[in-house]
Amino acid sequence: MNRTRLTRQVPRWSELRPLLSFERPGLPDRAHRLQRAADIGDLRRIAQRRTPKAAFDYVDGAALSEQTARGSRRAFDAVELTPRVLRGIGEVDLRVRIAGGESALPMGIAPTGFTRFMHSEGEDAGAAAARRFDIPFSLSTMGTRSVEQVAEVSGEGRRWFQLYLWKDRRASEELVRRAWETGYDTLLVTADTPVAGLRLRDTRNGMTIPPKLRLSTVLDASYRPEWWLNFLSTDPLSFASLSGSGASLPEVINSMFEPTLDFEDLEWIRSVWPGKLFLKGVLGVEDAQRAVAAGAEGVVVSSHGGRQLDRVVQPLRALPRIREALGPDAEVIYDSGILSGTDAIIALALGADFTLIGRAYLYGLMAGGQEGVERALELLEQEMRVTLHLLGVATVDELHPGLITGA
C-alpha cells in the first residue's frame, strides 16, 4: 500500500507572524464581555455572575415548581422547521406593522416590574435600546420609572403602557391619561394577575418593596461591586406608579390590584383609553373572542412567563387555536419563553403578528445595562434574519404554519 509522504520545511517567520497576533492582555471591560456573548444563554450566564441572587432569581424564576416556564422551552425545542430552497432570497425584511404603527423588528420589549433592581439603568436602558432599534418599549404599572421619565428617554420611539387595573378606578384612569398625554399609543391590560402567583424563589429570597438590606443580601452583593455601587449611588428604588409600602411582592399585588376584574371592566377601560388596546394573558379561545368583542384590537397570548398559574396550557400550543378563532382582523401578539430569534420566527409562523421579549431583555440588562440590552437585540435580530434566509422566506408576512412541525 502506497503511503502519502509529507514534504516538510523549516517554518518561516513571515508565515508564522500573522498566526501569532495575540490580543494585548488587560482587564475585560463591559463592551468586550458583551461582544463575546454569542446568544441569550451567554448573556444569562454573565447576568448570573454579576447580579445578586435575589435580583437574578426574580427574573429567572417562575411560579411554584416552575413547570410552565420549563414547558415553554420544551414547546419551542420540539418544533422542527421545513426550509424552502432555491427561492432567490437576496435580503430579508423584518419590518412589520403592529397596533397601528411600524416596528423595524417583529419584536418589542415586554413590560417588566422592579426593573432597576436588576440593573440601575433599568427602564432607561430598555427604552433607549428600543428607540435605537426602532421597536416598541412597554412600561409596566410596576415599573421603576414613571411614564414621564420613560417618555423623556424614549423620545420619538414607540411607547406602550401595561396596566394592572387598580381597586381605585380614579387612580387607574389618571394613570392611563398620563400615559396617553405623554405619547404612549398602545395599552396592554394584564388579565392574569387577579392575585399574585406563588413565586417560591422570591419568597425564599425575602423580596420586598423596597428591597431590605439583610445580611445575606449584603454578603451576596459584596463580590458584585458594580451592582452594589450602582444600587447605593443612584436614586432610591421604588415602583414609580405606586406608593411606598415595605410590603412583600404578593402583599402589594393583592392589596392594590383588582381580583374581581371582568369583561365589563375591560369595556370601561376601552371607554377611557383612546389608543390601541390589547388584553394580555390570554390562553383560551373564548377569552380571546370576548376581549375583541369588548373593544380590544387584539390579545397577547401569554402565560406571564410562567410566573402566575403553574402548569397552564403552553402559549405556543394555544397560539394557533386563538389565531384561527380571531381570524385576520384582530391582532395577536405572542409573549412567553422567547430566548432566540428562531423562537420568535416560530411564533410568527404559527400565527402571531408580533412578539414580546421579557427575560431575554432582562438578561441583557443585567449583563451590561443599555449595552447589554442592545447586544441582546443584536443577537435576536441576527438570528431572525439568518432563520428567514435559511427558510427561504423574504418577509415576515410570508411565514405560515406549513413551515412548522411539532408544535
- Which active-site residues does the annotation give? 304
Cell readout for 330 is 384582530
Cell readout for 107 is 419584536
Q: Is the Cβ–Cβ distance between 108 and 356 less than 8 Å?
A: yes
Q: Which of 71, 36, 75, 43 lies closest to 59, judged by CA?
A: 43
d(CA 401, CA 349): 5
Residue 327: Cβ-neighbour burial (10 angstroms; 0-12, 13-18, 19+): exposed
φ, ψ of residue 105 in degrees (nearest 5): -130, 155
Which H or E run includes 354?
strand 354-357
Residue 96: Cβ-neighbour burial (10 angstroms; 0-12, 13-18, 19+): buried
Residue 258: Cβ-neighbour burial (10 angstroms; 0-12, 13-18, 19+): middle
Q: 22-31: list long-range contacts, CB under 8 Å, 24+ apart.
A: 30/368, 30/369, 30/371, 30/372, 31/371
d(CA 121, CA 371): 10
| DSSP output for 189-206 | EE-S-SS----HHHHHHT
d(CA 84, CA 390): 8
d(CA 222, CA 15): 48
Cell readout for 226 is 458594580
| DSSP output for 275-331 | SEEEEEEE-SHHHHHHHHHTT-SEEEEE-GGGTSSTTPPPHHHHHHHHHHHHTTTSE
Which H or E run includes 363?
helix 359-391
